[in-house]
């Protein structure tokens, strides 16, 4: 089966590509404009098209050339804080780009779509862990762009028969166990890589965004899920679409949360570095607690996580960061 991996040179996309490339029944074509992705993350022998999903002409060219049967869509702007200051840029990239992609799928009769959604669609959830069918109420533009796409997908299925799976990621983290690929954003804003940059001596301190939240130590609680486990869920979702020909939405969480301070403490243990910290003002758009159950993914997709503790996750991230202290560009 021919599968387009849009954003396949990015953090989660590249881990999916590595997992999917171990299965002989899939032919992978990566579509990425390399605005955030890294060509170095692409394994040898995988087809790569440098194309932007916001460029209709480029999409027409790659769909005509490769005739995919399924599309996995990882391209997105993903920084919550930045989405608050640049909502228009976020709607353009995350919503308009996806519309172009769906239009190309409609035209070329591609029936299966897997969408990278997010915990941010739930806003400040009413129930914790967040059930799969919890009400959605994003509190930042990033989450709203993803929810908007989820709504578009429901209408697109009705009108054009495109079957989809939305995977609502909680905090993606960690790196491939080989240490060869990992998280490299510029600028880096995500908690674990930023902490590890302190351990590498590239930053002086970790800034903790707020310690007056209603949580056990006052810092925000997040549900950290290993990126390889997220990749596995995509493969299970594709199998599900082909097997059942039905659309669905799944939370991909671990049912457990860690505070920012707990993640820092775990990182001190793994790296042996004191990792000094400083309390800063809370970041705009940050909910206090985001933890999800993943009952539906476990039951329907048969998804099972391999990484179950924050220490195991940080260990893999540390392996990547130690071997790539300046990211992909300067190994």
- Is residue 99 close enough to count as binding ligand UDP by CB under 6 A? no
By C-beta, is 80 or 241 nearer to ligand UDP? 80
- Is residue 53 close enough to count as binding ligand UDP by CB under 6 A? no
At 60, list the tokens: 């027409």
- Is residue 171 close enough to count as binding ligand UDP by CB under 6 A? yes
Catalytic site positions: 142
The DSSP annotation for 172-193 comes to: EE---TTSSS----SS--SHHH
- Is residue 286 close enough to count as binding ligand UDP by CB under 6 A? yes
- Is residue 30 close enough to count as binding ligand UDP by CB under 6 A? no
Residues 173 and 162: their CA atoms lie apart, in Å, by 30
| Binding track, positions 199-218, relative to ligand UDP; x by CB under 6 A | -------xxxx---------
By C-beta, is 5 or 208 nearer to ligand UDP? 208
Q: Which stretch binds ligand UDP (CB under 6 A): 98-106, 123-131, 176-184, 189-197?
A: 189-197
Q: Where are the beta strands (DSSP E) in the chain?
A: 2-6, 27-32, 47-50, 70-73, 112-118, 163-169, 171-173, 206-209, 221-222, 224-226, 248-252, 258-259, 277-280, 289-290
By C-beta, is 161 or 276 nearer to ligand UDP? 276
Please select the residue that binds ligand UDP; options are 220, 238, 266, 270, rule is CB under 6 A: 220
DSSP state of 200: T
What residue is closest to ligand UDP based on CB?
220
* Main-chain dihedrals φ then ψ at residue 29, nearest 5 degrees: -125, 115
Q: HSE-up of 150 (CA within 13 Å, CB side)?
A: 23
- Is residue 194 close enough to count as binding ligand UDP by CB under 6 A? yes
At 287, list the tokens: 């909910």
Can you tell me which residue has the tokens 């989660």? 12
Please select the residue that binds ligand UDP; options are 42, 227, 233, 260, rule is CB under 6 A: 260
Q: Which residue ranges make up the site for ligand UDP (CB under 6 A)?
A: 80, 171, 189-191, 194, 206-209, 220, 222, 260, 283, 286
């Amino acid at each position: 089966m021919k599968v387009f991996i849009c954003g396949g040179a990015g953090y989660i996309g590249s881990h999916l590509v590595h997992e999917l490339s171990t299965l002989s029944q899939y032919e992978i074509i990566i579509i990425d404009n390399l605005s955030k992705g890294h060509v170095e993350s692409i394994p040898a022998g995988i087809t790569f098209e440098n194309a932007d999903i916001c460029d209709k002409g480029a999409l027409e060219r790659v769909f005509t050339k490769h005739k995919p049967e399924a599309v996995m869509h990882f391209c997105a702007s993903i920084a919550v804080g930045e989405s608050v200051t640049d909502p228009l840029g976020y709607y353009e990239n995350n919503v308009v780009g996806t519309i172009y992609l769906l239009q190309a799928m409609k035209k070329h009769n591609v029936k299966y779509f897997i969408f990278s959604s997010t915990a941010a669609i739930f806003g400040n959830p009413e129930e914790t862990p967040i059930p799969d069918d919890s009400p959605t109420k994003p509190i930042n533009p990033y989450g709203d762009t993803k929810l908007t796409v989820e709504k578009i997908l429901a209408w697109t299925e009705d009108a054009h028969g495109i079957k989809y799976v939305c995977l609502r990621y909680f905090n993606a983290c960690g790196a491939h166990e080989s240490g060869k690929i990992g998280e490299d954003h510029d600028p880096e804003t995500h908690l674990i890589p930023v902490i590890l940059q302190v351990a590498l001596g590239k930053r002086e301190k970790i800034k903790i965004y707020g310690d007056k939240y209603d949580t056990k130590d006052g810092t925000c609680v997040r549900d950290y899920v290993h990126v390889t486990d997220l990749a596995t869920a995509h493969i299970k979702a594709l199998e599900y679409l082909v097997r059942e020909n039905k659309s669905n939405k799944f939370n991909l969480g671990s049912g457990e949360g860690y505070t920012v301070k707990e993640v820092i403490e775990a990182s001190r243990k793994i790296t042996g570095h004191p990792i000094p910290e400083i309390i800063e003002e809370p970041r705009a758009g940050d909910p206090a607690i985001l933890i999800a159950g993943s009952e539906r993914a476990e039951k329907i997709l048969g998804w099972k996580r391999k990484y179950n503790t924050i220490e195991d996750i940080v260990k893999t991230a540390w392996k990547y960061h130690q071997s790539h202290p300046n990211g992909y560009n300067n190994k």
